[in-house]
Every structure is written in C-alpha cells, then in structure tokens.
Structure 1
C-alpha cells in the first residue's frame, strides 16, 4: 500500500491501495499464481473512515479475483489492533458482498413477474398489502443484522443507537451465548504445555 506522506504511516483502503490490489490480481492471473489481499483500514476506531476504507479494500479484493482474503474483519489502526465491534460491522459488509455475488436466477412465469399483483394494485394503490408481497417480503431481499433502515424519527424513538454501539451489543450477545467446544483433555494439556514453553522462551503471554 501507499503511506501517509505527512507521517510515514501506512495507509489502507485508499485509491492507490485498490489499484495496487487489482494490478496484483492481473499479475496473478498472467503468471497463473494464487494471490491474497486484505480487508484493511488505517482508522483508529470503528467509525465511518474505518468502514469506507475497509469496504474499498474488500471490493478491490473481490474485483482482483483474490484466492485468499486475510484480515477480512476486525482490523483497526493499520493492523495494530483488532476490534470486536469492527469485526461485527465488517461481517455485515462481507454478507452484503456475498449476497451481491449470488447468481441471479431470472424467472418469467406470470406469478414471478407479479402480473396479477400489478392489476390488483392499479394506479392508486400500493404493493405492501397484497398477498404477492406478503408471501415474499421476508426472503426477497438480504436482511442485515446491524444496519438500521428506519427513518430518522423511527431510529430516534428506538433510542438513536449508532452503528458501533449496536455492533458492541451484538458482539457481547454472541460472547454471552458462547459454548466452549469439546476437546480431549490430553490434547488441551499438550497445547497448554506448548504455549507455556513458547512464553518461557520469550513469547507474549496469552489467555489460552
């Protein structure tokens, strides 16, 4: 990536970063080599800058035909920290991108085109109340788990909670519901001994 020429710090999710990722993809295809890219940002907190830089990085990753995407969620401060709130927000973006790439299946039966519903609504009604809509409204569009699509008044009445706050509540909810997967005790002890040995050799302590 390029750097911030005022400080020397690496910059991510920039126009230059996107172009470099896409050019790397072209080189990978030319030489028939796998490539990897990342969903990265230079922001320090999970705010608007963090999300647009990460979105830029992720779109460049998929447009370049990356085989592996490292750091697809949670990256902050140029990779110096990982944020649980940012992880949740990034997962929402990843789901949107995944939905975007789902194949479009074109159906042309009268029921799919909603001819009868169009006749029923006419020129002065609306589609929300017709049965055709009622049968499809839960599955027709991707449903986000963090985004709030209400208008300002509805959002304000619901507490006016900003995205990072909603993400914080979601990650705490996930952690509260966490169930430790079963592991053979002998394997656990072997891993524990390995971690202890590496820490004693100078590695960083861990909460394993």
Structure 2
C-alpha cells in the first residue's frame, strides 16, 4: 500500500493567513513613488510652445501686486518694475532661477517610513483643499466642517496605504479666530497622522506661532529644520497674473523658517484663466515660473513644489468642473510641463462634482486620478474624499478613495515584460501533460501578491454570495470602517507631557 502523500505544510488556513498579513515592501504590487510618465498628451513641440508663450507673458505682461519685500527681492535678482507697478521677468532671469531651483525634494514625515521623494515621474496621492462642508452620508446633507472633522480625516488617512500625504482638506469653521485656526489646524493634523502634512497661514504674523508649535512637536528648532514634516500650501498668486500680497509675505516667513512651500496657482479656465486647456496651462506655468524666481531669489535651492492647479469651468453655468475630462487633461498637461523643467510638481486630480460618493463620483475620481498618475504627476492633490466641486469633504469617500487609488496605481505600474512574465515555460508546463489551467500553479501562487491589487471594499462576489452575506452596501461598509478607525487611539497622538506643554502655550480647541 502506498504511503499517503505528505500534505502541504500549513495547509489552506496558513496560506490564507499569509495572504492576509501585511505585505513587505519588496513584494507590494503598488507603493508610494511609483514611476508614471506613460501618458503624454503634449508633444515635445507643444511643451516648447507653452514654455515660450509663458516666457512671453512674463516678459511682456508680468505680474502685479507684489509686496514691497517681494519687489526688493526680485528686482535685486533682475526683475524689472514698470511704471504700471507690474514686475516683468526677462528670459535670462527665469532661466537663471530655474538652474538654481531644487530638482529633487524630500518631503518628510514625522515617521521616516512616510518620507516622499519628489523627482522624475514618481507619483504620490493625497488629500488637499479647503472644503467648508462635511458630507453627511446618512442624511444626505451638508454641514459646516469642524476641527474634529479635520482631526478625524488625519486619523483615517494615517490608516490608508494609498493616501501618501495629508494636505489639509477642509477648514475648521468652528474656530473663528484666524490665528487660533492656523495653529489648531497644525495640531489637529499632526496629532492625527505622522505622514507629511500641508497647511496654510491666514496672515504672515501667524507663521511664528505655527513654527513655535512645530518646534515643540519636533523636539526643537534644529530637529525641525533637519526634518520639516509640514509644508506651506501657498496661493501666492491671484490669477490672472497678480501676486497675492499677504500670501507672498507668508511664503517669505515660511521659507526663512525652513518650511518647504507649494507654489499654488489655481486659475479657473474661462474665468480667471483662458478657457482653452493650452491657454490655462500657459498662464499657470507663467505664474509658477514667477514663483520660482521669487523663491530662488530669496533662498536659492529652497524646496518649492511647482503647483500648477488650473481648474475647469462649466461655461454654461459658471460652476467648477473638477470631475471633467478637461480637468484630467489640465492636470496631465501640467505634469508634463513639470518634467519639461525638471521640477517637482503637483496638481489637482481625484475630486468630484458629485455631492455624494455615488457612481458619478466614481467615474470622475478615477478618470483624473488615473490620468494624473499615468502622466507622472509627483503630487496628486485632492485625490480622495473631495466632493461638490471642492465644497464638501466626506470621510467615507476618503476610505473608498484608498481602494480607487490602489487601482489607479496599478495602472501606473504598467506591464512588466521579461522572461518570467512572458511565461513560456509556464505555458509549456500547463499545456504539455499539465492540468490544462493555471489555477494553483506555483507560478500563479508565487505572483498573486506581487502582480495583483486586491480591493479592501470593492465587492467581487457573485450575486448569490452577495445575497447570502446580507447584500452589503459599499457606503455602509466604509462607514463601519470609519467608526473602527476612530474608536482606536491615534498612533500619531502626542506624548502626554508634550501635549500638556502645547496646551499650556496654545489655546487648543480639540478635547484631550
């Protein structure tokens, strides 16, 4: 009698446990900083023409309303102040400052595992925006966003693998003093996540408080300057072609404080920017080039993200169209211009005009996220959770967006072609005396984690299985996951002694 064949060590339960365990970095199918760049809506000639037109705009039209400090900084570098009060930028000046600009930026997290390397076509997805409402999925209503909502968004983002950074996605409307709003925003975000954070400041005088708080969190000014884990989101221009005076002064203070900056130009095509996709990209490029001159005249090589953020507009109604195909093209074209200059850049994608996380939101969010990722956009802002043309934020949508971005990143990864993936020997083994299928083969099992992205919430069951488990609803599933996350202690929570010191110095509105 033949001896029984030995059973596979561990059996099915062990294999299931292995698949359920967190993947190590070397076998994860997707990860932060994957290389995009496959999609190129602009030709080399197109990019050259956009560049030349942007230089013409800077040289002939220039920008108005720079603060006196900015005028002094930029004219000392070679900008020309006209009698009309506009600063104009000779081509040679722009080229000189581009040569000095930082081409490889490291955005730090409080935990080094969350550090982001911005260069080339490396792609990162995260939140952003200034929503003033929260989406209540139960009542299908909108309410004012609060500081607690912001803190909860940070805590949720901390747990989502495909949300690589947290730029403040909403305004805490329950904090009415702007100075307190600025430092409470920093506190709420930092107490929720150790990923890189982006914030803004209402007025230049408020930057000092923010830096003092960041020094306390970091463990001193030297520690902060060595690893600045918060950057300044700075709307330094008011399109078309005007500097935002106070924001420029904020930017100067942040640069002196060692904080990376996002140079954000957010024109609306057809309103504050030309209605054509190419024209909107030209203006955003020109405005951000002016920002590059400004930053590098003040502090050569300071980390500054080229933040071309033109938005679409429905010319029938004047409504924003952040979920449109035109928006996707705007962001992808901007990503190409970032590569044209060799500068780390960011743009908006993944936001929706829909009021709820429904089918419209799904197609809008996926369209622009995939195109932004494929174009190699370094920082994809507003990639999850944003609704109602940037007016509303939804925690459940943030959670579902993690799944959506996972699929987008799989598209970014693309198709590897080598001897192993071409699989000739596997085909031979299966077809010549083998089982005639690839289910359960060593090759299939060995690559099932490396090659495939499995959604956390996306439902792939059959209708029968779906019915047997109670016909789960996607939004309800996300709501339950939100409650699970918020029921646990935040891993980014401050040490009690530090928290007490912060609260003794600042009027923190979040409860202990």
Shared fold (TM-score, shorter chain, > 0.5): yes
| Alignment of 1:175 onto 2:486 | yes
Asked if structure 2 preserves the Cα contact closer than 8 Å seen for 1:24 and 1:64, the reply is no
Equivalenced residues, count: 197
- Name which one, 1 or 2, has greater alpha-carbon Rg: 2
- For 1:22, which of 310, 313, 332 is the aligned residue? 332
Structure 2 stretches lacking a partner, 5+ long: 1-310
- For 1:90, which of 379, 393, 401 is the aligned residue? 401
Structure 1 stretches lacking a partner, 5+ long: 198-204
- Name the CA shift for 1:193/1:98 in 2 (closer, same or farther; >3 Å): farther
Asked if structure 2 preserves the Cα contact closer than 8 Å seen for 1:13 and 1:55, the reply is no
Task: Give the 3-state SS of the residue equivalent to 1:49 in structure 2.
Answer: helix
Asked if structure 2 preserves the Cα contact closer than 8 Å seen for 1:117 and 1:132, the reply is no
Asked if structure 2 preserves the Cα contact closer than 8 Å seen for 1:114 and 1:132, the reply is no
Q: What is the aligned partner in structure 2 of residue 116 from structure 1? A: 429
Cα distance in 2 for residues equivalent to 1:206 and 1:80:
23
For residue 84 of structure 1, report the CA deviation from its aligned partner: 1.5
Asked if structure 2 preserves the Cα contact closer than 8 Å seen for 1:13 and 1:53, the reply is yes
Larger RCO, structures 1/2 (Cα 8 Å, 6+ apart)? 2
Q: Which moved more, 1:86-95 or 1:17-26?
A: 17-26
| Alignment of 1:165 onto 2:476 | yes
Cα distance in 1 for residues equivalent to 2:469 and 2:483:
20
TM-score (norm 2): 0.34
TM-score (norm 1): 0.77
Cα distance in 1 for residues equivalent to 2:326 and 2:319:
15
Task: Give the 3-state SS of the residue equivalent to 1:65 in structure 2.
Answer: coil
- For 2:378, which of 67, 90, 93 is the aligned residue? 67
Task: Give the 3-state SS of the residue equivalent to 2:471 in structure 1.
Answer: coil
Cα distance in 2 for residues equivalent to 1:182 and 1:89:
24
- Name the CA shift for 1:194/1:24 in 2 (closer, same or farther; >3 Å): farther
Q: What is the aligned partner in structure 2 of residue 202 from structure 1? A: none
Cα distance in 2 for residues equivalent to 1:127 and 1:110:
11
For residue 69 of structure 1, report the CA deviation from its aligned partner: 1.7
> Root-mean-square deviation (CA), in Å?
3.0
For residue 2 of structure 1, report the CA deviation from its aligned partner: 1.8
- Name the CA shift for 1:44/1:134 in 2 (closer, same or farther; >3 Å): same
